[in-house]
């Protein structure tokens, strides 16, 4: 792999142990890692990239995504309804696609490819995807297709084998026409780990075990997944929690909170990260920190569903590991993580009269890089320090839409006509250059996705 020298970086956000912010500095990339930071001389074998106009930071880590939903944006009937009805409507649409022959691995692949390219273009270099929809309860190679696209696009992927195993007809809240047996889920999960999982700290593909939630999954799945993860280094555990519907179900079905329920299944440890958490009890926050679980803030979809924003300040003050994500495009309508950071910065001000409780730009960027990487148990990502993975994203801070910005870090979050990154490097390879994806042709990706989409509902 040829080396790179990022020369004369205008502003470098390291998110290292000291949160150093450096100016007019060089960064050397070799063998897929950060090699050196300082005043460096170019080597004959490396490519020099002028970064004198750029703010460079670690690539963003999207800690919660559903890439199959890229083809399900802005569905008219789903625009203004609450979560319970939205879930029902989304499921009906997916089943209709499946019956009509449109919900196929090939369709999922083209949607995932488009979502990955969109992610790269806003500076995301690692995506944690959770694919949970298996229409008819049939195991098709949907996740395998997503993995293949990640390898082609050049993005790191935590591929979550999602599940729904507790159908309504048997007392759960999973759709009867898309639930699978526990045995089938476990069989396929082990097959995926054997075929694709790379436990190396810089592995480009990891397999995670990701039941959809305790309201649609049997506790046997949670406990079995916990046992599998404990036996396979680098395999993480991920689920939705405290998203309203599961909270009510767990109280009614088990007489306990969702956190207590998954804890009894072995999910109180640092291999676990949890998405949404909008109605989590404040009194449980110390136990989240003590267990070492990661918590993922998903501001855009939570607001779209009418929820108040999650208590992120309380999480941070309580010592929790906090990451950031977008969830799927059916409830976010995009993969733009940088844009969602701006939304989070403003939204949390509305819900607290004390400015000290507002989330700062630096806190949000730290959540979206180092924090998300820690949620995924990937400490070699989300930071710029010698030995870390060479995942970097950069934006031009000298453009007309950033004239007058006195703090370029705050300006990155709060200003700009576009969140499109100028330069993105993933695993030491340039994947976005001059604001265009170069690992694949983004125009061809968009055209292929549009050609694959079934007719609008």
Among 350, 375, 400, residue at a domain's last position: 375
Average pLDDT, integer, range 227-241: 99
Among 375, 405, 421, residue at a domain's last position: 375
Residues 166 and 179 in one domain: yes
In a domain, 452, yes or no: no
In a domain, 338, yes or no: yes
Residues 406 and 271 in one domain: no
Average pLDDT of the chain is 97
Among 349, 375, 401, residue at a domain's last position: 375
Residues 144 and 130 in one domain: yes
Residues 236 and 369 in one domain: yes
Residues 157 and 271 in one domain: yes
Euclidean distance between CA atoms 338 and 415, whole angstroms: 11
Average pLDDT, integer, range 411-422: 98
Closest CA to 262 of 232, 225, 289: 225
Residues 94 and 14 in one domain: no
In a domain, 447, yes or no: no
Residues 166 and 280 in one domain: yes
Range of the domain at 422: 4-58+383-442
Residues 79 and 175 in one domain: yes
User: Looking at residue 257, what is its pLDDT?
Assistant: 98
- The residues, ordered by sequence, that sit 6+ positions from 11 with a Cβ below 8 Å of its Cβ are 21, 22, 23, 54, 55, 56, 397, 408, 409
φ, ψ dihedrals at 13, nearest 5°: -95, 115
Q: CATH number for the domain including 332? A: 3.20.20.140
Q: CATH number for the domain including 41? A: 2.30.40.10
Residues 418 and 273 in one domain: no
Residues 189 and 248 in one domain: yes
pLDDT digits (tens, 9 = 90+) for 27-77: 999 999 999 999 999 999 999 999 999 999 999 999 999 999 999 999 999
pLDDT digits (tens, 9 = 90+) for 167-221: 999 999 999 999 999 999 999 999 999 999 999 999 999 999 999 999 999 999 9
Residues 89 and 29 in one domain: no
For the whole model, what pTM was predicted?
0.98
Q: Three-class SS of residue 410?
A: helix
- Tell me the pairing of strands 124-131 and 156-163: parallel
Average pLDDT, integer, range 409-423: 98
In a domain, 281, yes or no: yes
Residues in the chain: 457
Euclidean distance between CA atoms 212 and 178, whole angstroms: 12
Total domain count, the chain: 2
Residues 337 and 437 in one domain: no
- The residues, ordered by sequence, that sit 6+ positions from 62 with a Cβ below 8 Å of its Cβ are 119, 124, 126, 127, 128, 324, 325, 326, 335, 337, 372
- The residues, ordered by sequence, that sit 6+ positions from 291 with a Cβ below 8 Å of its Cβ are 263, 268, 269, 270, 272
In a domain, 448, yes or no: no
- Tell me the pairing of strands 272-276 and 237-241: parallel
In a domain, 355, yes or no: yes
């Amino acid at each position: 792999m040829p080396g790179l020298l990022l020369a004369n970086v205008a502003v470098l956000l390291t998110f290292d142990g000291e949160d150093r912010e450096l100016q007019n500095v060089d960064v050397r990339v070799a063998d897929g890692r950060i090699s050196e930071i300082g005043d460096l001389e170019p080597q004959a074998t490396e490519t020099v990239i002028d970064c004198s106009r750029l703010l460079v930071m670690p690539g963003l880590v999207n800690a919660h995504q559903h890439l199959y939903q890229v083809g399900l944006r802005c569905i008219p009937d789903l625009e203004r309804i609450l979560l319970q009805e939205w879930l029902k409507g989304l499921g009906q649409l997916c089943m209709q696609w499946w019956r009509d022959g449109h919900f196929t691995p090939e369709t999922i692949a083209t949607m995932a490819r488009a979502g990955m390219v969109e992610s790269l273009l806003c500076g995301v270099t690692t995506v944690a995807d959770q694919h949970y929809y298996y229409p008819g309860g049939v195991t098709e190679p949907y996740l395998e297709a997503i993995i293949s696209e990640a390898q082609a696009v050049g993005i790191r992927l935590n591929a979550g084998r999602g599940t729904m195993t507790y159908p309504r007809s048997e007392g759960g809240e999973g759709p009867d026409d898309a639930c699978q047996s526990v045995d089938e889920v476990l069989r396929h999960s082990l097959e995926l780990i054997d075929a694709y999982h790379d436990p190396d700290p810089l592995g480009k593909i990891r397999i995670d075990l990701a039941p959809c939630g305790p309201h649609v999954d049997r506790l046997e799945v949670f406990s079995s997944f916990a046992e599998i993860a404990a036996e396979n280094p680098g395999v993480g555990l991920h689920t939705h929690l405290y998203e309203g519907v599961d909270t009510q179900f767990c109280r009614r079905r088990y007489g306990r909170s969702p956190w207590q329920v998954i804890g009894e299944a072995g999910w109180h440890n640092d291999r676990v990260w949890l998405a949404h958490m909008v109605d989590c009890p404040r009194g449980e926050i110390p136990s989240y920190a003590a267990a070492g679980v990661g918590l993922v803030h998903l501001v855009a979809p939570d607001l779209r569903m009418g929820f108040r924003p999650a208590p992120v300040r309380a999480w941070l003050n309580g010592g929790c590991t906090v990451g950031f994500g977008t969830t799927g495009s059916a409830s976010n309508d995009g993969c733009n993580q940088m844009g969602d950071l701006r939304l989070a910065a403003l939204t949390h001000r509305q819900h607290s009269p004390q400015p000290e409780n507002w989330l700062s730009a630096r806190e949000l960027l730290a959540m979206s890089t180092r924090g998300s990487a820690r949620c995924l148990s990937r400490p070699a990502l989300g930071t710029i320090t010698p030995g870390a993975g060479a995942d970097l994203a950069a934006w031009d801070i000298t453009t007309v839409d950033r004239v007058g910005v006195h703090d370029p870090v705050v300006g990155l979050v709060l200003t700009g006509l576009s969140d499109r990154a100028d330069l993105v490097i993933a695993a030491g390879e340039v994947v976005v250059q001059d604001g265009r994806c170069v690992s694949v042709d983004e125009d061809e990706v968009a055209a292929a996705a549009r050609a694959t989409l079934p007719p609008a509902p």
